[in-house]
């Protein structure tokens, strides 16, 4: 079964049948920050013209990935902040296809879509393909376990809304277990033990958010449970947490976490995960009821050497300055699943939300140029710095980056304001100014009227 869209017009039976000119189809695979922004831009630009803009995504709704740690802790209700692709597509003039890419036929210019199977194992839609004139791969990243024994089987991940929901439910179950044990016997040894592997932004933010959530549970039926019954261990293989931040800011975050009660372990490589513990090199065992892996990312495995395209050891598609893949001018890649190393740079552009946002803008411009037969422009990454939120307790980071030839360290209220502004900019990018501002206002109202935690 194949999918293609053909323009048609009414004609009399006696009229000669003229060749039907196919619409120019731009297929975007992946509805994350970059993919969704690009779909909205292209849909608005080509609405009503001889074009089809198609977004292929395996999830029905979008949630900004940097917020998943808040969804996992229950601090954010994703049902209120998610974006439904179907309604968004209708508003912005593109098509939404529910499905997951599993291959590319470059000769016939078709994206191969995997069969859709429901929870009962029933096939809803068989394998099929979608024609493209231009293809943009924007499928993001997944956790990289680096071949560590037992991680895939015994650790939780925060790559998707589904995984974040699963973490939240397990966390609530563990809190209920401890609360029940304490109410029955005042068990002094009853704790919720969480081990987080990875001292980057995700691991650090999750550790702080867990203490924020635990402190609020006493107001929602767990009267004998509070943050003192939470034991979080943050495990980092490197010499310090938050390697993307200046050392002074990383040290400030380290001290803040320890003040909350987090045990921070640096220089502690993990060699195995079991059903009960994380095992460090040297044999030390850190027992934990919940084990979270946040120690790095890679592109999904199916991208490795897909359709003969050039990929990195982390499965990322290698792109040129124009964001076109090195072996096919009609295939672009943006965001975490792409790898671009600027001329003279030692490392590729880091996998950050700001990079995906900037790539979406350049890909939009270059697709329009390619269609018009004009020269494409080069992508120039503007590093606006990094920010890490320690929930309501603190925010640290560095701003401006290479825009001013250096970094400006920020902490506290200013850093928190800028951190929140990043999400607001994302809302404006995918919804437009009018609806985006309305959603920002609604978000302020929800902070007042909705529960502090999502408990279901």
End-of-domain residue from the set 367, 382, 397: 382
Q: What is the CATH number of the domain that holds 376?
A: 3.50.50.60
pLDDT, tens digit, 9 for 90 and up, residues 156-167: 999 999 999 999
Beta strands 101-105 and 95-98: pairing type? unpaired
Mean pLDDT of 124-139: 96
Is the pLDDT at 28 greater than 90? The verdict is yes
Residue 202 to residue 213: CA distance in whole angstroms? 16
Residue 136 in domain: yes
The CA distance from 450 to 108, in Å, is 51
CA dist., res. 151 & res. 147, Å (int): 8
| Mean pLDDT score, 391-402 | 55
Q: What is the pLDDT of residue 333?
A: 98
pLDDT reported for residue 325:
98
Q: Is residue 428 part of a domain?
A: no
Check whether residue 165 and residue 290 sit in a common domain.
yes
Q: What is the pLDDT of residue 277?
A: 97
Residue 50 sits in the same domain as residue 86: yes
Task: Give pLDDT, residue 215.
Answer: 77
Q: Per mean pLDDT, which range of 8-17, 28-37, 433-442 is the poorest?
A: 8-17
Q: What percent of the chain has pLDDT over 70?
A: 82
CATH number at residue 273: 3.50.50.100
439-446 contacts at long range (C-beta below 8 A, 24 or more positions apart): 443/81, 446/80
Please indicate, yes or no, if residue 405 is contained in any of the structural domains.
no
Beta carbons within 10 angstroms of residue 76's beta carbon? 22
Strand 128-131 to strand 297-298: parallel, antiparallel, or no bridges (unpaired)? unpaired
Question: Is 159 within the bounds of a domain?
Answer: yes
Given this model, what pLDDT does residue 19 score?
61
In order of 28, 176, 178, 186, 262, the CA distances from 229 in angstroms are: 46, 11, 8, 12, 12
Q: Are 51 and 105 in the same domain? A: yes
Query: What average pLDDT does this structure show over 370-376?
Result: 97
Asked if residue 418 belongs to a domain, the reply is: no
Rounded to an integer, the average pLDDT of 260-287 is: 96
Asked if residue 29 has pLDDT above 50, the reply is: yes
Would the pLDDT of 405 be above 70? no
Mean pLDDT along residues 172-181: 86
With respect to residue 206, please indicate whether it lies within any of the assigned structural domains. yes
Between CA 424 and CA 353 the distance in angstroms is 13
- The residue range of the domain holding 317 is 2-6+22-141+299-382
How many separate domains does the chain show? 2
pLDDT beyond 90 at 298 = yes
Q: Which of 248, 263, 295 is the last residue of a domain?
A: 295
Average pLDDT on 323-348 reads 96
154 and 266 within one domain: yes
Q: What pLDDT was estimated at residue 420?
A: 65
Q: Is the domain of 152 the same as that of 288? A: yes
At 449 the pLDDT is: 47
**Do residues 291 and 303 both lie within one domain?**
no
pLDDT, residue 453, reads 45
pLDDT at 39 over 60: yes
Q: How confident is the model at residue 223 (pLDDT cuts 50, 70, 90)?
A: low
Instruction: Examine the fold and report which residue of 344, 365, 382 is the final residue of a domain before the chain moves on.
Output: 382
Same domain, 164 and 113: no
Residues 310 and 361 placed together within one structural domain of the fold: yes
pLDDT in tens, 230-257: 999 999 999 999 888 888 888 888 998 9
Task: Supply the pTM of this predicted model.
Answer: 0.86
| φ and ψ at residue 396, rounded to 5 degrees | -130, 155
For the chain, the average pLDDT equals: 85
pLDDT band at 454 (very low <50, low <70, confident <90, very high): very low
Query: Do 177 and 95 share a structural domain?
Result: no
Q: Max Cα separation, the chain?
A: 89
pLDDT score recorded for residue 177: 87
Count CB neighbours of 33 within 10 A. 28
Summarize pLDDT for 75-122 with one digit per residue, the tens: 877 777 889 999 999 999 999 999 999 999 999 999 999 999 888 889
Tens-place pLDDT, residues 60-70 = 999 988 889 88
Q: Stretch 352-363: mean pLDDT, rounded?
A: 93
Higher pLDDT pick, 362 / 439: 362
Is the pLDDT confidence value at 7 over 70?
no
30 plus 154 within the same structural domain: no
Mean pLDDT, to the nearest integer, of 315-325? 98
Residue 335 has pLDDT above 90, yes or no: yes
Once rounded to an integer, what is the mean pLDDT over residues 409-419? 57
412 compared with 158, residue with greater pLDDT: 158
266/386: higher pLDDT: 266
């Amino acid at each position: 079964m194949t999918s293609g869209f053909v323009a048609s017009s009414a004609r009399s039976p006696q009229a000669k049948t003229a060749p039907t000119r196919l619409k120019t189809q731009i297929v975007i695979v992946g509805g994350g920050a970059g993919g969704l922004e690009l779909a909205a831009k292209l849909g608005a630009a080509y609405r009503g013209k001889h074009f089809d803009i198609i977004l292929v995504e395996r999830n029905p709704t979008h949630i900004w990935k940097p917020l998943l740690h808040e969804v996992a802790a229950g601090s954010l209700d994703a049902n209120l902040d998610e974006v439904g692709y179907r309604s968004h597509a209708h508003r912005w003039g593109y098509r939404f296809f529910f499905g997951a890419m599993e291959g590319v036929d470059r000769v016939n210019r078709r994206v191969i879509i995997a069969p859709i199977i429901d929870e009962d194992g029933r096939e809803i839609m068989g394998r099929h393909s979608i024609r493209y004139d231009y293809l943009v791969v924007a499928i993001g990243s997944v956790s990289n376990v680096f071949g560590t024994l037992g991680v895939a089987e015994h650790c939780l991940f925060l790559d998707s809304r589904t995984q974040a929901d699963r973490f939240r439910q397990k966390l609530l179950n563990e809190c209920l277990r401890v609360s029940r044990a304490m109410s029955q016997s005042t068990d002094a040894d009853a704790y919720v033990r969480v081990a987080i592997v990875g001292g980057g932004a995700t691991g650090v933010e999750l550790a702080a958010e867990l203490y924020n959530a635990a402190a609020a549970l006493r107001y929602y039926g767990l009267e004998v449970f509070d943050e003192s019954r939470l034991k979080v261990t943050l495990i980092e293989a490197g010499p310090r947490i938050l390697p993307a931040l200046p050392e002074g800011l990383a040290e400030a975050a380290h001290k803040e976490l320890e003040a909350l009660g987090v045990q921070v372990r640096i220089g502690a490589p993990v060699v195995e995960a079991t059903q009960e513990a994380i095992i460090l090199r040297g044999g030390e065992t850190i027992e934990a009821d919940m084990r979270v892996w946040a120690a790095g990312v890679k592109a999904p495995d199916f991208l490795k050497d897909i359709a003969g395209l050039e990929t990195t050891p982390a499965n990322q598609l290698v792109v040129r300055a124009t964001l076109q893949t090195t072996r096919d001018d009609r295939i672009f890649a943006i965001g975490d699943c792409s790898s671009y190393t600027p001329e003279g740079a030692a490392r590729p552009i880091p996998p950050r939300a700001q990079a995906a946002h900037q790539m979406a803008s350049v890909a939009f411009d270059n697709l329009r140029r390619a269609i018009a037969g004009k020269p494409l422009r080069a992508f120039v990454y503007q590093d606006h710095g990094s920010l890490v939120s320690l929930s309501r307790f603190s925010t640290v980071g560095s701003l401006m980056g290479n825009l001013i030839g250096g970094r400006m360290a920020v902490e506290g209220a200013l850093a928190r304001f800028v951190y929140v502004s990043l999400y607001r900019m994302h809302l404006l990018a995918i919804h437009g100014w009018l609806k985006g501002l309305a959603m920002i206002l609604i978000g302020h109202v929800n902070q007042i009227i909705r529960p502090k935690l999502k408990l279901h």
